[in-house]
Structure 1
Amino acid sequence: MEKWAIGVFTSIDAGLGVDLDVAQELGIKTIQIHAPQKSSRNQESADKILAKLKDYGIEVTCVFGGFEGESYADIPTTQKTVGLVPPETRAARTAEMKDIADFANMLGCKCIGLHIGFIPHDTNDPQYSQVVAVAQELCDHCGAMGQTVNLETGQESADGLLQFIGDVARENLKVNFDPANMILYGTGEPIEAVKKVGHHLGSVHCKDAKWAANPGQEWGQEVPLGEGDVDIEAYLRTLKLVGYEGPLTIEREIPQEPDRQKTEVGHAVTLLNGLKTKILG
């Protein structure tokens, strides 16, 4: 795969990604894919998806998990409902992530990703050690198949993420860095955060956002790539600095407006290709 291959976050039957046909139309060669519904996570479905991707000349680089009952309505709701942190859904969701990892393996994909949720800041909180244990369990399941587990950024500061990765102590636990999420959640300046977690990067998103008036208490605003506070050129230069050479995966979450989504992803492809030439030569 070429250095910094342009990718896009896609969906087959669920989630917020662009349609596969749109990815193909835009000339995209790599995708992260939102895991399909449970009924579709089988070898027959995997074979159909692989045949279509082969036809399109597209490679899956990461399969992302998401769960029923998650809500990103506001930051407090996100804290209560997202990922493997909420205790009442943790066991079922951990089992589902293992199932998603098995499906990713059917696709020949060596990476799964997820929002693990708001990890307790206090490392002495009993919930903290339980989330560490569940991350270890998931990493060990994936490690047996040669897969990495990439944690999507946003809900933790870079320092909090480093602490957690250190405590989980699994070589296959990586970061899926999303610069816009740092702004949307109000958890830190994205460029500084990339410098801190750079040696743990397994994958990245290219997404943009504007800071909220009260960061961390209310959502920032997601905007088209290049129109927010990330500074995409500085972001890419920092990725180069930390030695990241994997795909640049565009994420634009407006599935209810497919035409606008397609246009904005197309603009993002053009922007990234231009910056790639400028930075990599």
Structure 2
Amino acid sequence: MCGWDIGQCTPEIAERVVRDAKAANVRVCAVWAGVPRPAEWNFTGGPVTLGLVPEEYRAERIDALKKWADFAVWVHAPAIITHCGFIPENLTDPAYPGVVEAIREVALYCEQL
């Protein structure tokens, strides 16, 4: 199971993961919470396509991360893992506050689960 396809984020698949993990005597420690494309895994396209940084994809990706957090609960995993993107290093960058707020929104959602 790979956390890129949000269509796999269902209670039925979670049940299968729990069953298979139990049969294999494996504890699920975290769920990879992938977000909808586009995504370029490099240093040229990555900063403008990955994670929660690109504003045009942010809302959809926040929703996806929340769904994966729900899935993590269903499979008894204590955490989700993702790539938040190339967060601006300069705190005065106009993009910085929106990215931090997006991460905060996902973190607060996870905290209440």
Instruction: Establish whether TM, by shorter chain, passes 0.5.
Output: yes
Which of 60, 70, 85 is the matching residue for 1:117? 85
Letter in 1 for 2:77: C
Give the letter for the 1:144 counterpart.
Answer: Q
Whether 1:88 and 2:56 are equivalent positions in the alignment is yes
Partner of residue 38, structure 2: 69
Deviations 1:51-81 (A, max 9, x none): 1111111111011122321111x31111111
Residue 25 of structure 2 is aligned to residue 50 of structure 1: no
- Distance in 2 (alpha carbons) for counterparts of 1:109 and 1:89: 26
Distance 1:90 1:39 in 2: 19
Query: Following the alignment from structure 2 to structure 1, what is the Cα–Cα distance between the partners of residues 32 and 63?
Result: 14
SS in 1 for 2:29: strand
5+ long unaligned stretches in structure 1: 1-11, 13-33, 146-281
Task: Report the Cα distance in structure 2 between the residues aligned to 1:87 and 1:81, rounded to whole angstroms.
Answer: 10
Secondary structure at the counterpart of residue 28 of structure 2? strand
> How far off its partner does 1:40 sit?
2.0
Q: Equivalences for 1:1-281 in 2 at 5 Å?
A: 12=1, 34-35=2-3, 37-67=5-35, 68-72=37-41, 74-145=42-113
Paired residue type of 1:50: V
Q: Give the TM-score taking structure 1 as reference length.
A: 0.39
Number of residue pairs aligned between Structure 1 and Structure 2 = 112
**Partner amino acid, structure 2, of 1:71:** E
Cα distance in 2 for partners of 1:91, 1:42 equals 20
The CA distance in 2 between the partners of 1:80 and 1:124, in whole Å, is 18
**CA distance in structure 2 between the aligned counterparts of 1:134 and 1:46, rounded to whole angstroms:** 26
Q: Provide the TM-score with structure 2 as the length reference.
A: 0.92
Greater strand share, structure number: 1
Which protein has greater RCO, CA pairs closer than 8 Å, 6+ apart? 2
How much identity, in percent, do the aligned residues show? Answer: 29
Shift of 1:35: 1.7
Match of 2:70, SS state, is helix
RMSD between superposed Cα atoms in Å: 1.2
Residues in 2 aligned to 1:66 and 1:45: alpha-carbon distance in whole angstroms: 16
Amino acid at match of 2:39: E
Alpha-carbon displacement from aligned partner over 1:123-166 (angstroms, at most 9, x marks no partner): 01221011111111111000002xxxxxxxxxxxxxxxxxxxxx
Runs of 4+ with deviation above 4 angstroms? none
Q: Which ranges of structure 2 fall in alignment gaps of 5 or more residues?
A: none
Q: Which amino acid aligns with 2:64?
A: E
Letter in 1 for 2:38: G
Structure with the higher fraction of residues in helix conformation: 2
How far apart, in 2, do the equivalents of 1:132 and 1:38 lie? 23
- Partner of 2:92, secondary structure, is coil
